[in-house]
Structure 1
């Protein structure tokens, strides 16, 4: 399949006008952000608190919600030109060309496409342990050998050890930055040096799902000099569109085309409404900033309170916290169950390390109260 369908659309004069300017104008003007107290007043639905999957508890931005509501009637059309507009917006945001962007149904689809492409030749892949690895089932099923590299003593990705694990048979190196489940981040200069030393025969997949919670610059600027880099991005986290399923890859044009060839309908596995919500979300910088600020406040509160309960916490650069239950004397998981709170699992048995998503301040107060 040709990825250049979007270029063809431009050449024949389609573009965003194809969906009607009335629909686009419906969210072109900024809406006032919901009231100042909205972050304190959000109530858990059905008295059940979900702190499992690192979602944004504040939902999509007001502009994204309006885009959904105002454009429902477009759902009967494919509207490939909307993908063209979103790709152009993402290219501008990331200072790359349109040809360097590939859309996917969440960054999970991007990870899956990279896995399929990397596994076209037998070999191995290198991943930190623990890290986000649900998607690696594709690599395993296609025959690539998994090489796990333990984190260092500070629960950070050990880039030097990762580099030593790379050999002539390595087809893919995965770096989740910030890392899930630990919330730690690689210093950018160290990460750039790491990328510079990975052989060009191996793809370096940088998963930046949580980078918007930090001040660190994306590695997308390296794609012009490193044709083996893929940067995976998502609207699922700080933009609050996890259920809308929209993400994208940034890479060298040749690599983008190789990934697109594995997509049955290039740039169109994402719904029309999700694309429009993403376009709107990119306009709402204030909402993103407010979500980040509220996350920092709730995260600090939770870490402080967990430490009072003798739970060692790893400093987090994300919207979740990695902490140890070794010195917590009660039944943590039973406490969650008794209080209708959904958390996650033990990631590392030594130290009984687990992770909790940072919800609203009210949710985190209920979480702490449940543990006390």
Structure 2
């Protein structure tokens, strides 16, 4: 066999002769800025200082986003997305990823785990980073409800876990909401028998936007966790401004049989980068780990690390969301329609007509809104966009929905 002899060509010469250097360099130079251009305020002020989005940077992002959303066609107000997308700091973090390699077990995910654990005040071994919070719900259903398990849930609520559990043959006990369209904890407690393996609650609730009384929910979760694992979905946690609201994470640190689900898809605007979190005791995390079916991406992990630490961006998004929510609440009140008190980035109100009709009429005016959520088939869910976008929605609604 002829021994291997190194080529007299240098690596760079070989790359040049093959066209990789020229083509690759051109591709990198043309692709990266086109995908994620650096954001800068018109006066040249930086968008990010010391990891924090500046007011000038946020206002520049707002102008960019509103123009982009108008150009895309009907305004997306159906999926409860943060209209501003990712923070300028997160955008820069992704740009910096061009310098790294996306190997298996890349450092980005362990770094995110450490940063997030510190952010929510738990040890690192209490956190599982996942490919979106939807993955958390599926993993928990796999771990606790497959092969004939039983799940107790309010209804309607976020459907990811109940539907996934049903697809695996689990029995799902659905307890109707109370008159305020919030969780009926007394009814859920009556339905909670020893055969129930998993209890699911979403607070604030989707699609109703309602917040369950903190003290009552804490008592319910504490009691329920003595018989079953309890999963509390806190996807909309970051939008709540009510002073009486508290997370249930402290029940995890107390050692209760509780799992908290959180996401980077909502206030952090990383829905397309699929990054979520399960927070639970280490033994529960160990039970969930074998059920993981996919890995979080390194781009999403790097962006989430930056966004979690960018508290200025979160505050500005929360304030803008509250402003848009107030605009919608006032418009719905003027129409004389019943609505819930929303603590999220969407509103839920009774249109008095089939939601499908409202959807179709709103689409003709340039807005995509949420579908029906039985049994509330006349209630519309509209996601909160920028304040200017919500003023446009508020002006259009009275032409469709009558008092």
Shorter chain as denominator, the TM-score bin is 0.7 to 0.9
Which structure has the larger Rg over C-alpha atoms?
A: 2
Aligned residue among 205, 208, 219 for 1:179: 205
Corresponding position of 2:274? 245
Structure 1 unaligned segments of length 5 or more: list them.
1-26
- What secondary structure is seen at the aligned counterpart in 2 of 1:240? coil
Corresponding position of 2:259? 230
Q: 1:74 deviation in Å?
A: 2.3
- What secondary structure is seen at the aligned counterpart in 1 of 2:347? strand
Corresponding position of 1:221? 250
Deviations 1:133-177 (A, max 9, x none): 133222112221111111111111111111111111101111000
Structure 1 window deviating more from structure 2 (247-256 vs 92-101): it is 92-101
Corresponding position of 1:155? 181
Aligned mates of 1:350, 1:271 — CA distance in 2? 37
Correspondence 1:358-369 to 2 at 5 A: 358-369=384-395
**1:274 partnered with 2:300:** yes
Aligned residue among 237, 244, 263 for 1:211: 237
Structure 1 window deviating more from structure 2 (211-220 vs 312-321): it is 211-220
What do you get for the CA RMSD once the two structures are aligned? 2.2
What is the TM-score when the length of structure 2 is the normalising length? 0.80
Quickly say closer, same or farther: Cα 1:365–1:219, change in 2 above 3 A.
Answer: same
What is the TM-score when the length of structure 1 is the normalising length? 0.86
Structure 1 window deviating more from structure 2 (310-319 vs 51-60): it is 310-319
Structure 1 window deviating more from structure 2 (74-83 vs 138-147): it is 74-83
Aligned residue among 361, 370, 383 for 1:344: 370
Corresponding position of 2:82? 56
- What secondary structure is seen at the aligned counterpart in 2 of 1:80? coil
Correspondence 1:35-54 to 2 at 5 A: 35=56, 37-38=59-60, 41=63, 42-43=66-67, 44=69, 45-54=71-80
Tell me if structure 1 keeps the 8 A contact 2:53–2:310.
Answer: no
Aligned mates of 1:329, 1:54 — CA distance in 2? 17
Corresponding position of 1:134? 160
- Flag the structure with more relative contact order, 1 or 2, with Cα contacts below 8 A and sequence separation at least 6: 1
Structure 2 unaligned segments of length 5 or more: list them.
1-47
Corresponding position of 2:283? 254
Corresponding position of 1:118? 144
Aligned mates of 2:99, 2:280 — CA distance in 1? 34
Deviations 1:186-214 (A, max 9, x none): 12211110012115341100000001111
Quickly say closer, same or farther: Cα 1:28–1:80, change in 2 above 3 A.
Answer: farther
Equivalenced residue count is 343
Aligned mates of 2:342, 2:194 — CA distance in 1? 34
